[in-house]
């Protein structure tokens, strides 16, 4: 059967040879006579020159290139690079194919690539159709137009009104164009004359009494439009007499005084409104000091703690001081003295808190807790709600009990035993693993790195780490390389 399948040169060789008794002998003789001498360089050139054809699918193209790679014994990842480079397309479209190292993965990527190409082709056909349709509409609109009469059913050569001359698109008459239309010029000139004459009449007409009446109306009106009318009347006249000028100045002074009084009253109302806001909108806290309980304002912007003289009127332990306090607008306030007392907030007692006593009219609250006290506590503020705890409270945040979840255990005895084992567990090292790390270098050249400058604090840490490594034998001190050569 094998002898009958041979053809060409192999058949002639078979006829000249002696008969072979087995298939193994025939196979060995054929391999010896016709060796498979494949040049790897030629395979690389074939794969680099091979490109995917338009009528060829990606899977067929991959199979052909895969066969070439197998013949030249080229690694799969190298053959896949040739396959991706052989696809004639933009690199942005082929980005999904890069990074593949196996043929099964490349096959899946090809499916995604073909799906993307189909969608892009469909979108391109839609955009082409829209552009063609838009071009046809534009062509239909501008296909025919007569530049003589403006009609769209003929051109200027075949215009029936050609003998009458050019058409004016301003008055629709023949014999001239719109830029030289006499009707347009007459209309514009007439309009300007009418405007100028009316303006001149307005300027020259009117007596001083009329002007005075206009000014009175403008000054007595409280709206902004009335003021604009007065300005127009003033600047529109050519002259004034002495009576009109004095009357106008009196009206202007009256309007200025009214506006100044309104601004002053508005400013006073704003200040009153700021000072008299509802206390529910301010961060207040119930505090107890000097044997009394009151609402204190929590003000982190105040450097000191303040208390009014009215609140601590019956306290005899107020001490004198020579400190001057300054507030908004650099206003100076001389405190009446200072006192040191205990404060109770949220059930927690704080000892020896310093307060400065100020007059009652200097602040709208009995007590103001400032930064001097707040820096020593933990404060949380949410709107007008304030919550305070001592600094030691922060250490208790991470302290929590770890409960054992044994709800899935149905047996009561086993459940109690598991809970007892977890609670009584104490980690302890009972055996040390004999594992030693050994660094194997490629040559005898020491492992060094270019030194760099570090801070003094970091230098101490580095020196401690190096000393520990020297003690454990991980590193060794640097020696002169010339001694090794000698």
Using pLDDT thresholds of 50, 70 and 90, give the confidence band for residue 146.
confident
Q: Tell me the per-residue pLDDT of 360-370, one tens digit each, with 9 for 90 and over.
A: 888 888 888 88
When comparing pLDDT for 9 and 206, which is higher?
9
Whether residue 348 sits in one domain with residue 252: no
Q: pLDDT confidence of 236, banded at 50, 70, 90? A: very low
67 with 98, same domain: the answer is yes
pLDDT, position 410: 85
226 with 248, same domain: the answer is: yes
Q: Is position 484 within any domain? A: no
The predicted model gives 318-334 an average pLDDT of 78
Q: How many CA atoms lie within 13 A of 248 on its CB side?
A: 19
Residue 478 lies in a domain: no
365 & 300 share domain: yes
Task: Determine the average pLDDT of the residues in 360-389.
Answer: 83
**300 within some domain:** yes
Residue 190 belongs to a domain: no
pLDDT in tens, 469-485: 999 988 888 776 555 55
Residues 288/343, Cβ–Cβ less than 8 Å = yes
Residue 184 CB: number of other CB atoms within 10 A? 14
Cα–Cα distance measured from residue 148 to residue 174, given in angstroms and rounded to the nearest whole number? 9
In this predicted structure, the answer to whether residue 464 has a pLDDT above a threshold of 90 is yes
Domain enclosing residue 337, as ranges = 282-395
Query: Six-digit token pair at 121?
Result: 């082709």
* Number of compact structural domains in the chain: 3
Q: How much is the pTM?
A: 0.30
pLDDT at 421 over 80: yes
Q: Kindly state whether residues 235 and 302 are assigned to the same domain.
A: no
CATH number, domain of 349, equals 2.40.70.10
Binned at pLDDT 50, 70 and 90, residue 293 comes out as: confident
48-91 confidence digits (pLDDT tens)? 999 998 888 888 999 999 988 888 888 999 999 999 999 988 88
Please tell me whether residues 257 and 326 are part of one structural domain: no
- Listed residues 120, 149, 180: the one ending a domain: 120
The answer to whether residue 374 is domain-embedded is: yes
Residue 396: per-residue pLDDT: 65
Region 395-416: what's the mean pLDDT?
Answer: 76
Is residue 245 scored above 80 in pLDDT? no
Residues 320 and 236 placed together within one structural domain of the fold: no
Q: Are residues 353 and 378 in the same domain?
A: yes
How far apart are the C-alpha atoms of 89 and 79, rounded to whole Å?
18
- For residues 305 and 383, membership in a common domain is answered with yes
Q: Of 389, 391, 317, 382, nearest to 354 (Cα)? A: 317
Q: Is 11 a member of any domain?
A: no
Cβ–Cβ < 8 Å for 118, 141: no
**Domain shared by 291 and 391, yes or no:** yes
**Where a domain ends, among 120, 146, 178?**
120
Cα 251 from Cα 229, distance rounded (Å): 14
- Average the pLDDT over 284-303 and give the result: 85
Give the pLDDT score at 143. 59
**Do residue 224 and residue 290 come from a single domain?**
no
The answer, yes or no, to whether residue 465 has pLDDT greater than 90, is yes
pLDDT level of residue 240 (50, 70, 90 thresholds): very low
Q: Is residue 142 one of the residues assigned to a domain? A: no
Mean model confidence pLDDT for the chain:
74
Cα–Cα distance, 458 to 475 (Å, whole number): 19
Domain boundary among 395, 421, 445: 395
pLDDT in tens, 87-138: 988 888 888 888 888 999 999 999 888 888 888 888 877 777 777 766 665 5
Q: Render 101-128 in DSSP notation, one character per residue.
A: -SHHHHHHHHHHHHHHHHHHHHHHHHHH
Please indicate, yes or no, whether residues 287 and 266 belong to a single structural domain of this protein. Answer: no
Digit-coded pLDDT (tens) for 167-184: 888 888 888 888 888 877
Domain assignment present for residue 146? The answer is no
């Amino acid at each position: 059967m094998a002898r009958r399948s041979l053809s060409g040169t192999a058949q002639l060789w078979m006829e000249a040879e002696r008969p072979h008794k087995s298939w193994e002998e025939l196979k060995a003789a054929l391999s010896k006579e016709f060796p498979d001498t494949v040049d790897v360089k030629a395979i690389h050139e074939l794969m680099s020159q091979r490109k995917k054809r338009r009528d060829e699918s990606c899977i067929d193209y991959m199979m052909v290139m895969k066969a070439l790679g197998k013949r030249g014994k080229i690694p799969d990842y190298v053959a896949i690079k040739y396959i991706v480079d052989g696809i004639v397309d933009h690199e942005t479209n082929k980005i999904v194919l890069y990074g593949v190292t196996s043929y099964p993965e490349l096959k899946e990527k090809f499916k995604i690539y073909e799906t993307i190409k189909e969608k892009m082709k469909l979108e391109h056909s839609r955009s082409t159709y829209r552009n063609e349709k838009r071009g046809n509409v534009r062509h239909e609109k501008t296909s025919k137009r007569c530049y003589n009469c403006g009609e769209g059913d003929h051109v200027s050569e075949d215009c029936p009104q050609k003998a009458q001359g050019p058409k004016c698109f301003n008055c629709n008459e023949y014999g001239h164009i719109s830029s030289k239309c006499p009707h347009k010029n007459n209309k514009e000139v007439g309009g300007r004359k009418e405007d100028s004459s009316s303006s001149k009449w307005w300027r020259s007409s009117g007596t001083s009494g009329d002007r005075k009446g206009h000014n009175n109306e403008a000054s007595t009106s409280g709206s902004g439009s009335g003021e604009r009318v007065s300005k127009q009347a003033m600047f529109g006249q050519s002259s004034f007499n002495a009576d009109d000028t004095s009357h106008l100045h009196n009206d202007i002074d009256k309007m200025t005084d009214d506006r100044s009084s309104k601004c002053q009253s508005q400013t006073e109302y704003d200040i009153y409104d700021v000072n008299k806001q509802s206390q529910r909108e301010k961060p207040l806290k119930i505090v107890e000091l000097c044997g009394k309980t009151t609402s204190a304002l929590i003000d982190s912007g105040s450097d000191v703690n303040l208390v009014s003289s009215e609140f601590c009127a019956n306290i005899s332990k107020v001490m004198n001081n020579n400190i001057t306090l300054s507030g908004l607008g650099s206003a100076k306030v001389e405190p009446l003295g200072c006192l040191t007392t205990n404060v109770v907030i949220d059930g927690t007692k704080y000892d020896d808190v310093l307060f400065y006593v100020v007059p009652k009219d200097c602040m709208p609250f009995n007590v103001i807790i400032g930064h001097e006290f707040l820096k020593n506590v933990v404060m949380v503020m949410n709107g007008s709600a304030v919550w305070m705890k001592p600094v030691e409270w922060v250490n208790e945040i991470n302290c929590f009990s770890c409960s054992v979840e044994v709800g899935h255990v149905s047996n009561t005895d086993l459940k109690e035993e598991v809970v007892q084992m977890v609670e009584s567990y104490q980690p302890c090292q009972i055996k040390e693993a004999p594992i030693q790390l050994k660094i194997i270098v490629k040559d005898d050249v020491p492992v060094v790195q270019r030194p760099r400058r570090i801070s003094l604090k970091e230098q101490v840490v580095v020196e401690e780490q190096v000393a520990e490594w020297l003690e454990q034998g991980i590193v060794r001190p640097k020696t002169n390389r010339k001694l090794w050569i000698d």
